[in-house]
Amino acid sequence: MDQFDSFIGFARLILLALVPYVLASQGTMLSGRTGVFNVAQEGIMLLGASVGFLVALYTKSLLIGIVAAAVAGGIIGLALAYFSSTLKMDQFVIGLALFFIGLGASSLAFKLVVGVTLQLPRVPTLSNLRIPLLGDIPILGEILFNQNALVYFSVLISIALYYYLYQTSWGLELRAVGENPKSADSLGVNVVLMQYATTIIGSALIGVAGAYLPMVYTGVFTQGITQGRGWLAIALTFFGGWRPQLILLGAFFFAIVEVLSLRAQIVGSAIPYQFLRTLPYITTIFVMIYAFRWTRVPAFLGLNYDREKRSLS
Amino acid sequence: MTPSESTLLEMRGVRKTFGPVIALDNVTLNVKRGEIHGLLGGNGAGKTTLMNVLFGLYKADAGEIAVDGRVAQVRSPREAIGLGIGMVHQQFLQVNSFSAAENIVLGTPLRNRPTLDLTTPKQKIRALSEKFGLSLDPDATLESQPMGVRQRVEILKALYRDAKLLILDEPTTMLTPQQVDSLFNSLRAMVKSGLSVIFITHKLREVLTLCERITVLRNGKSVITLAREEATEDTFIKAMVGEEMNIGRSLLFAKSSYETEIAQVGSKELLKVDGLSVEAASQENQVISDWSFTLREGEILGVAGVAGNGQHELAESLMGIRPCKGKVVFDGAEMTTLVTRDLLARGIAYVPENRWDDGLLPKATVAQNLILGSHRRPPYSNGLMLNLGAILKRSQELIDEFKIKTESPQSLAANLSGGNVQRMMLARAFSQNPKLMIVHNPTQGLDIPSTEFVYNKLLERKRAGMGTLLISENLDELFLMCNRVAAIYRGRIVGVLERGQFDAYRVGRMMSGLE
Ligand SMILES: Nc1ncnc2c1ncn2[C@@H]1O[C@H](COP(=O)(O)OP(=O)(O)OP(=O)(O)O)[C@@H](O)[C@H]1O
Ligand SMILES: [Mg+2]
């Protein structure tokens, strides 16, 4: 159990565990910032895991698998955008339906392609990418700069989203859509286009978060491989106040709890791991109670905008 | 200039329906270059709808829009902006958490898009605000700004986009008299520099001082367009309401014949407030310190003050919405510690100032909104179940009596026009037949007949010996209806004037802290 007990091993595990939370939560945040509240994360991640795994298996390319997972996520995102932004249907109902669709489709695809076998097919796991020079720094280099590509990607995308949202005029328009779509519309911002774009891209990120699991952790696809990480991503988004920078920070907390509960499961500990697993939810609730200003949500989150209606529904 | 050259905008044969409701029917509007064009009409006449069509928010069923003599398609606000049209909506369309500058530049093609460097836009904003006397701080977040400033932001949005035509939908409802004056000066400066303005209001006096030509809408039809010189108040009232109002017997226009009746007050104390203090919940809210006053039966007591000097807090603390200190005795019993529900049951009703945020459930039906507050009592409820039949019957009566323009009692409240929301709130309060009624700016956004109607209702209450606390920024209204008027400034009562001593200048000085 070196991994858990050496400092380097433990820190590396946290960074590994960080990725799906960051990606899924940034994806949630992105569409939420235009008012589309995606609640299908768990389904999208499962679908991404299944599709990513299968495509990687047959093309023998993890990269193509990841792209395929993104496309699968994007398609669910497109559906969500169509039903909420165009047809103005209830986002939660649609989100839950899409969750079940993702759930079903992921295991169906796997059964159709692989069938029932005793020997589960495997894909190679993502290899580490050592960054030249930085990777040679003692200790830190090993922890931070000798990781798989998606670790770097998830940090970079968080930084990019922060920059985009707060430092560009596109970001200003995007945020305006989630705060007051009518105001944005009356100034010529294309509300529907914004919602489609963020929902599709956001769901694609969530799909990649799903594909990460078989490609990094297990090498195989199993049902329920996400283990509730999709739901946790929603909690993390609130925890991080719908802000990319805080979501990245909050993800560390979620990742630490995950690694600790994994350790408790394998090594055994005084605290039952079931309790540890509920910790992120409980903390999120406390954060929302005590730091409400901090966790300020977009004003029109979950509501649909209809230009000719006087109330927003 | 030939007539066609001087015309900036023409709308012809515009029709717009919402389901079975015909909001606009064959409407024509013609606006010249460099004029302030008034748009008058009763509540629900279709003014806002017409402007929303012009601004691309509503798609018209039929009709044509020509700008600069060319027929134009306006399918979205973006296209309207492209044609040089800017609109200040009845309810401001702003992102509260953004700064003024961010709200203004939103959606414009910034040259340095990827950097969000607002230095150059801010220079332009400052230049515009100086030129037209629309002072504001571009960096202040809108949440913390008073209504007057927020409106300037809306106007600057249009000017920033080089609008040739500025639409203002009831811009003066939320403004103090001083703010109205400064708005008018800005508008005159804009027209001088070549802009045209469409100005919607219910206040005839404003139209007659500001507008060169005036178009009147009634029930979704354009009735007439007149130049200011050709017309008098009476002409417009006739055009707006048809023959339905008798001006000779009107409270508004034949004040003196009601004087003795209004001056009467009962002898018994209905409400006694002693040392009322309210602490600020946040910085924006004014503290009330140590207010004492009484209100007798049959009395209408006025509270005059510039918005934000404590009147909102007064109303909310009396209604049990906001915690307060001091002693309040109502109808012989202490009610300081009672909660809103009990206060309602004891016969106090409240018409809040902000109808959209505090007065209305937008997604509930008109009927539900009308019985809100009495919904726990018979005949609407037997304690367990609502009696839908009784609710519908009563709300239909109220809709008829208060002339609420709605398709049915079951329609969504949010679809009502601004003035009709106000009528609905008044109907709710009056129908509770309360011993004490607290009304805050009750006639804001109401057309002339409805205003007259409300005054008559207040008079009826007076005859029945019931009390009314009338909080208003409209001095004409206060002087017309009240027995006494308390002027307030920065959370203090500066003085109380009796009927007979009313003097606009004196009250004005008191309200601005000069006395
Ligand atoms: N989005 C909508 N959905 C349904 N009905 C609507 C909608 N917008 C307006 N109406 C209806 O159209 C009619 C005209 O409304 P409009 O808001 O144009 O009146 P208005 O002249 O601006 O009145 P006010 O002075 O009260 O603001 C009303 O009967 C209103 O209920
Ligand atoms: Mg209106």
pLDDT tens, per residue, chain B with 515 residues: 455 568 999 999 999 999 888 999 999 999 999 999 999 988 889 999 999 999 999 999 999 999 998 999 999 999 999 999 999 998 889 998 899 999 999 988 776 666 677 888 899 999 999 988 888 899 998 887 877 788 899 999 999 999 999 999 998 877 777 778 889 999 999 999 999 999 999 888 888 889 999 999 998 998 888 888 888 888 888 888 776 667 777 777 777 788 888 888 888 999 999 999 888 766 555 688 889 999 999 999 999 988 778 888 899 999 998 888 899 999 888 888 888 888 998 999 999 988 888 888 988 999 999 999 888 888 888 888 888 999 999 999 999 999 999 989 999 998 898 889 999 999 999 999 999 999 999 998 888 888 988 999 999 999 999 999 999 988 889 999 999 999 998 889 999 999 989 988 888 888 888 87
- Residue B222: the pLDDT is 86
Which of A172, A296, A309 is facing B106, going by the closest CB pair?
Answer: A172
Residue of B nearest to A296 (CA): B97
Has the ipTM of the complex gone over 0.90? no
Q: Which of B11, B201, B206, B417 to mutate to test the pocket of ligand 1 (most atoms within 8 A of CB)?
A: B417
d(CA B239, CA B251): 19
Domain spans in chain B, listed from the N-terminal domain onward? 1-84+164-244, 96-161, 266-347+434-515, 363-433
Quick check: is A2 in a domain? Answer: no
Contact indicator for A21, A254 with CB cutoff of 8 Å:
yes
Residue B414 in contact with ligand 1 by CB distance below 6 A: no
**Tokens at A169, concatenated:** 């005029």
Nearest Cα to B475, choosing from B177, B113, B243, B72? B177
CA B511 to chain centre: 21
C-alpha angle A97/A101/A105, rounded to 5°? Answer: 175
pLDDT of residue B17: 95
- What does the pLDDT read at residue A313? 42
Residue A313 lies in a domain: no
Mutating which of A166, A295, A307, A310 best tests the B interface, going by the most B Cβ atoms within 10 A?
Answer: A310
Quick one: what percent of chain A has pLDDT higher than 90? 64
Q: Shortest CA distance to A109 belongs to which of A225, A226, A221?
A: A221
Dist. CA B79–CA B228, nearest whole Å: 32
- How are strands ordered across the β-sheet holding B300-304? B348-351, B436-440, B467-472, B300-304, B484-489, B492-498
What type of residue is B260?
Answer: T
Residue B290: its H or E element? strand B288-296
Instruction: Report how far residue B212's alpha carbon sits from residue B184's, in angstroms, rounded to the nearest whole number.
Output: 13
Q: Tell me how far apart the alpha carbons of residues A120 and A77 are, in angstroms, rounded to a whole number.
A: 30
Q: Under an 8 A CB cutoff, do A175 and B95 touch?
A: yes
Name the nearest CA neighbour of B149 among B312, B284, B55, B36: B284
Identify the closest residue of chain B to A180 by CA–CA distance: B95
Starting from the CA of residue B89, give the closest ligand: 2
CA angle A134, A135, A137 (to 5 degrees): 70
- The CATH number assigned to the domain holding A126 equals 1.10.3470
CATH superfamily name and code, B1-84+164-244: P-loop containing nucleotide triphosphate hydrolases (3.40.50.300)
* Interface membership of B55 toward A (CB under 8 Å): yes
Is B58 in CB contact (< 8 Å) with chain A?
Answer: yes
Domain count, chain A: 1
Instruction: Read off the pTM.
Output: 0.85
Q: Which residue has the tokens 């805050």?
A: B440
Establish if B435 touches chain A: CB-CB under 8 angstroms.
no
Residues of B with Cβ-Cβ distance to A170 under 8 angstroms: 113
Contacts of A118 (CB under 8 A, 6+ apart): none
* Degrees to nearest 5, angle at CA B443 with B439 and B448: 150
Domain spanning B266-347+434-515: CATH superfamily? P-loop containing nucleotide triphosphate hydrolases (3.40.50.300)
Asked if domains B1-84+164-244 and B266-347+434-515 share a fold, the reply is yes
Task: Tell me what pLDDT residue B1 has.
Answer: 47
In a domain, residue A1? The reply is no
In a domain, A311, yes or no: no
pLDDT at B479: 93
CB atoms within 10 A of CB A292: 11
Rounded Cα gap, residues B487 and B510, in angstroms: 6
DSSP-derived secondary structure letter, B386: B
Do residues A260 and A276 make contact, with C-beta atoms less than 8 angstroms apart?
A: yes
Give yes or no for A293 touching B (CB within 8 A). no
pLDDT of residue A295: 58
Task: Give the pLDDT of residue A1.
Answer: 47
Q: Which structure tokens are listed for B251?
A: 């409270």
Single-letter code of the amino acid located at B444:
Q
- Structural domain span for residue A269: 7-306
Q: What is the model's pLDDT at position A158?
A: 97
Ligand 2 centroid to Cα of residue A310, in Å, is: 12
Average model confidence (pLDDT) for chain A? 90
Peptide bond before residue A181 is cis, with ω within 30 degrees of 0: no
Decide if A184 touches B, using CB distance below 8 A: yes
Of residues A167, A173, A190, nearest to B106 (C-beta): A173
